[in-house]
Amino acid sequence: MAVDTGATTTPIPYGATPEQRTEYGRSLRENTPLERHSEWSPGPDRPDPVQLIEDQNADRIPWLVPVRRARMSASPFTFYRGAARIMAHDLAQSPVSELVTQICGDAHLGNFGLYASPERRLVFDLNDFDETLPGPWEWDIKRLAVSFFIAGRFNGLKDKACRKLARRVASRYRKSMTKLAGMRTMDVWYEMVEAQRMIQTVENKETRKTGKRAMIKAMRKDSVHALDKLAEEVDGEYRIRHEPPWIIRVSEIRDTVSRDDIRDRLSKSYEAYLASVPDHLEYILRRFRPVDFAVKVVGVGSVGTRSFVTLLRGRDSNDPLFLQTKEASRSVLEEVLPASRYAHSGQRVVEGHRLMQTVSDVFLGYFTSAGHDYYMRQLQDWKGSADVENLDEQRLKGAANLRGWALARAHARSGDPIAIAAYLGKGETFDRAVAQFSGRYAMQNEQDFDAFMEETRTGRLEVAEYA
């Protein structure tokens, strides 16, 4: 059956026993057998995938739209990264169990990574929530599994190996959900993947070494590191380095009206942002003052949305803090699911962070400026991510295990892990179904990519590596 959910996650009935929740989960297989999750074929009324992508550009910064197209045209995988809207419409026609959790909405393998907890521990988790919304948990696991199939092909693996990767993702998710179902409620809530513990569980020696190097690299990324990379000293004061087209210092914008307008709005927006953070964080943020602003090009699918970097100064010029401002638009999932309970899209993103992550950036906040919703977070705080273009089969296997676990834990925080685990069962039926779905949808993604590339080759869609 196609999805038909309410606007909140599936509630756990007050007083329901684990046995009752288990029985409820199992009963859902009657309407949606596990085998049905393999199903995929484009319907006759499927929306034009290229048009779905292009419609998103209507409210984006016009001179960045050709850059977005260029990034999406690099490979079927980069196209997939920017095609969350297409897959949302496709998944809306797919079978679901009717169990709902908070979902990421764009859970491809590149949207996981390392970052620092407030206690200064390096953790691994989902790290992109621009599309987050309550929805069917199956949508996240399918988008993740498909991303491994596509990434495997991109890295030269045969389809058989790619199906095994997709199956591994589903298997680790299923087994992790079973483990989470047996844990106490607060233990599930506090469960997280610490990088150090994660590395110790890796059996392959070379993969373990690579992981340790990634940890060291991530822990070097903080505001002081960003100061050396993104800023330069001018007359005794640090300023953001002007490196067009990817980082454009606001003071370097030639149009005087636009330059002054952007600077004024960013200054006022910082005050609005402070009003959205808890009082104790406002105290520390008041010890910093904004000294420079820049426009920053980000991501693949996000290119063209409004994004800014703010450099703040603490006790002196060697005490920096970098914050990133990102535009938050309506989630693509809201086109096929009930609208978010939050009228403010920035708040939707921030609350999604906090619900799905065990620990989140303490400086998350949101505001509205000139009719656009935004959220703010630290630009760099021990952040690290996988280089998807250089992952061999062994590393992809490790990544599949880790991401399957992290996604299950994220869903267990807002959903009912007992019911989901009972629905999935102990057998491998679901794993096989997701692997079959992944192969079918990966082929559809390639067809959509080819259609997109045809539009760029004929010149109907302008592409530009640089704006």
Are 115 and 125 in contact by the 8 Å Cβ rule? The answer is: yes
3-state helix, strand, coil in the chain (%, to 5): 50, 15, 35
Q: Domain boundary at 355, 378, 401, which? A: 378
Q: What pLDDT does residue 200 have?
A: 63
On average, the pLDDT of the chain sits at 89
Q: Look at residue 418 and tell me whether its pLDDT is greater than 90.
A: yes
Q: Across residues 225-248, what is the average pLDDT?
A: 83
Q: Domain boundary at 344, 378, 412, which? A: 378
Angle between helices 393-414 and 159-181 (to 10 degrees): 30
Q: How far is it, in rounded angstroms, from Cα 80 to Cα 442?
A: 9
Q: How far is it, in rounded angstroms, from Cα 88 to Cα 79?
A: 15
74 and 175 assigned to the same domain: yes
Q: Look at residue 56 and tell me whether its pLDDT is greater than 70.
A: yes
pLDDT-based confidence at residue 9 (cuts at 50, 70, 90): low
**Residue 5 maps to a domain:** no
Question: Which residue range(s) make up the domain with 269?
Answer: 223-378
Q: What pLDDT does residue 433 have?
A: 98
Closest-CA residue to 288 (of 262, 318, 265, 248): 318
40 and 107 assigned to the same domain: yes
52-56, 63-67, 256-260, 279-283: lowest mean pLDDT where? Answer: 256-260
pLDDT-based confidence at residue 46 (cuts at 50, 70, 90): very high
Phi, psi of 106 (to 5 degrees): -150, 55
pLDDT-based confidence at residue 264 (cuts at 50, 70, 90): confident
Are 336 and 3 in contact by the 8 Å Cβ rule? The answer is: yes
Q: Strand 112-116 relative to strand 122-126: parallel, antiparallel, unpaired?
A: antiparallel
Q: Across residues 121-148, what is the average pLDDT?
A: 95
Q: What pLDDT does residue 1 have?
A: 38
Candidate ranges 242-246, 259-263, 276-280, 295-299; pick with highest mean pLDDT: 276-280
CB neighbours (10 Å) of residue 315? 8
Q: Is 239 helix (H, G, I), strand (E, B) or coil?
A: strand
Closest-CA residue to 438 (of 158, 149, 159): 149
Beta-bridge partners for 293: 310
45-54, 169-178, 214-223, 301-310: lowest mean pLDDT where? Answer: 214-223
Q: Is the pLDDT higher at 11 or at 286?
A: 286
pLDDT in tens, 90-110: 999 999 999 999 999 999 999
Domain count, the chain: 2
**Residue 467 maps to a domain:** no
- Give the pair of three-digit tokens for residue 343: 């009228």
CB neighbours (10 Å) of residue 46? 14
265 and 295 assigned to the same domain: yes
Are 115 and 394 in contact by the 8 Å Cβ rule? The answer is: no
Task: Give, as one character, the DSSP assignment of residue 389.
Answer: G
Q: Across residues 190-205, what is the average pLDDT?
A: 73
**Residue 11 maps to a domain:** no
Q: Is the pLDDT higher at 349 or at 257?
A: 349
Q: How far is it, in rounded angstroms, from Cα 86 to Cα 49?
A: 6
Are 193 and 402 in contact by the 8 Å Cβ rule? The answer is: yes
146-150, 184-188, 208-212, 255-259: lowest mean pLDDT where? Answer: 255-259
**Residue 313 maps to a domain:** yes
25 and 119 assigned to the same domain: yes
Q: Across residues 432-452, what is the average pLDDT?
A: 98
Q: What pLDDT does residue 75 have?
A: 95
286 and 228 assigned to the same domain: yes
**Residue 278 maps to a domain:** yes
Q: What pLDDT does residue 2 have?
A: 43
H runs (alpha helix) in 367-426: 393-414, 417-424
Q: How far is it, in rounded angstroms, from Cα 308 to Cα 270?
A: 12
Query: What is the value of pTM for the model shown?
Result: 0.92
Q: Across residues 1-13, what is the average pLDDT?
A: 54
pLDDT in tens, 198-213: 666 666 676 667 777 7
**How many helices, marked H, and strands, marked E, lie in the chain?**
17, 13
Q: What pLDDT does residue 395 have?
A: 87
Q: What pLDDT does residue 6 have?
A: 45
Closest-CA residue to 75 (of 467, 452, 460, 350): 452
Are 48 and 89 in contact by the 8 Å Cβ rule? The answer is: no
Instruction: Kindly tell me the sign of the dihedral angle through the C-alpha atoms of 245, 246, 252, 254.
Output: positive
Q: How far is it, in rounded angstroms, from Cα 130 to Cα 128?
A: 6
210 and 313 assigned to the same domain: no
Are 50 and 448 in contact by the 8 Å Cβ rule? The answer is: yes
**Residue 465 maps to a domain:** no
Percent of the chain with pLDDT over 70: 91
Q: Look at residue 406 and tell me whether its pLDDT is greater than 50.
A: yes
Q: Across residues 110-120, what is the average pLDDT?
A: 85
Phi, psi of 264 (to 5 degrees): -65, -45
Closest-CA residue to 5 (of 98, 104, 143, 137): 98
Q: How far is it, in rounded angstroms, from Cα 336 to Cα 338?
A: 7
210 and 234 assigned to the same domain: no
**Residue 463 maps to a domain:** no
112-126, 170-184, 305-319: lowest mean pLDDT where? Answer: 112-126
Q: What pLDDT does residue 410 have?
A: 97
Q: Look at residue 135 and tell me whether its pLDDT is greater than 90.
A: yes
Q: Is the pLDDT higher at 244 or at 132?
A: 132
Q: Look at residue 268 and tell me whether its pLDDT is greater than 70.
A: yes
pLDDT in tens, 26-43: 999 999 999 999 999 999
Q: Look at residue 303 and tell me whether its pLDDT is greater than 90.
A: no
pLDDT in tens, 273-300: 999 999 999 999 999 999 999 988 887 7
Q: Across residues 202-227, what is the average pLDDT?
A: 70
Q: What pLDDT does residue 201 have?
A: 63
Q: Is the pLDDT higher at 32 or at 255?
A: 32
Q: Is the pLDDT higher at 396 or at 245?
A: 396
105 and 195 assigned to the same domain: yes
Q: Domain boundary at 378, 400, 433, which? A: 378
Q: Look at residue 255 and tell me whether its pLDDT is greater than 80.
A: no
Q: What pLDDT does residue 329 have?
A: 94
Q: How far is it, in rounded angstroms, from Cα 300 to Cα 72?
A: 6
157 and 299 assigned to the same domain: no
**Residue 466 maps to a domain:** no
239 and 108 assigned to the same domain: no
132 and 212 assigned to the same domain: yes
pLDDT-based confidence at residue 7 (cuts at 50, 70, 90): very low
**Angle 325-327-329 (CA atoms, 0-180°, nearest 5)?**
155
Q: What pLDDT does residue 374 have?
A: 95
- Give the pair of three-digit tokens for residue 153: 């092909």
139 and 274 assigned to the same domain: no
